[in-house]
Chains A and B, each alone.
Chain A
Amino acid sequence: MRFMLIIKADTNTEAGVLPSKELVAAMDEFNEKMVKAGVLLAAEGLHPSSKGARITFHGGGKRTVTDGPFTEAKELIAGFWLIQVKSKEEAIEWASRCPDVLGPGETAQIEIRQVFEMSDFPAELQEAAGNEPAMRAQLEQGWPKAPRA
């Protein structure tokens, strides 16, 4: 089963405060443990929402684009890991072992969400997805290394 461990943002990540060397080293150690255990598929950090945008879809093909920042920092995402484990409990265990992800003593939250696999869908949805499995296989090869622009 794949799970996404989502790091929730706070005012520091939203302000673009860079992590300390110590924190980066601690996170690196944590990442290395997950690599050695063979569970880590991907890990990414996101720039603050001030560099982003939101597209809201209204009826009848109408869309509105709003530039960041977005105010509710607690609802925003600062980064994530994608892991492959045997159960939700194992995903929770990994998340619980994470060092203080937003800095020493900072309150932080990691949300654990199961990722859909094609086999989770009923047959008619798999059919509607057409040649999706082929595309997925191609993409999953691509995950670990981003192509360069």
Chain B
Amino acid sequence: MRFMMLMIPKGYEKAEAGAMPSAEMVAKMTKYNQALTKAGVLIALDGLHPASNGARVSFSGGKPRVTDGPFTEAKELLGGYWMIQVKSKQEAVEWASRCPAQDGDVIEVRQVQEMSDFPPEVQKAAGATRLGGEIP
């Protein structure tokens, strides 16, 4: 099973463009990332720039409307993610709990959809372009 560990850093919705973690934090995270790699569970990971240089596209009645960041009304924002391959949600939660996160940070653990989770007619409609999913 694949899971996303979504890092929601405390206060990241207020972070300014160009905000950087400390070298100490990066070193700790690197160690954690190496543990995930050594255990053979890590598929991908990325960090996201603060939302101040992001945007949101809202669709209503088929018309896209673009709003530039920062998003002042946001209560929480994604700061980065890990995608892992494990045997259970329990194992995913255990890995997330081992993260050297800072006080007030939250990691949301979410299962990733596999092609085999969908009924056959949906699988057929999806063709073969889904990159990450298991293609039967």
Contact = CB atoms under 8 A, between A and B. Distances in A.
Interface of A: 2, 4, 6, 18-19, 21-22, 24-25, 27-28, 31-32, 35, 40-47, 49, 51-59, 63, 65, 70, 72, 75, 77, 79, 82, 88, 91-92, 95-96, 98, 100-101, 105, 107-116, 120-122, 124-125, 127-132, 135, 138-140, 142-149
A79 B131 CA distance: 13
Dominant SS at the A interface?
mixed
Given A42-B44, A111-B56, A115-B47, A31 B97 contact: no
Given A122-B20, A135-B37, A54 B112 contact: no
Contacts of B42: 139
Interface of B: 1-2, 4, 6, 20-21, 23-24, 26-27, 30, 33-34, 37, 40, 42-49, 51, 53-62, 64, 66, 71, 74-76, 78, 80, 83, 85-87, 89, 92-93, 96-97, 99, 101-113, 117-119, 121-122, 125-127, 129-134
Given A92-B66, A115-B47, A146-B85, A45 B111 contact: no
A46 B112 contact: yes
A31 B130 contact: yes
A146 B134 contact: yes
B108 A142 contact: no
Shortest beta-carbon contacts, A-B, top 4 = A96-B64, A116-B47, A128-B23, A128-B26
A111 B132 contact: no
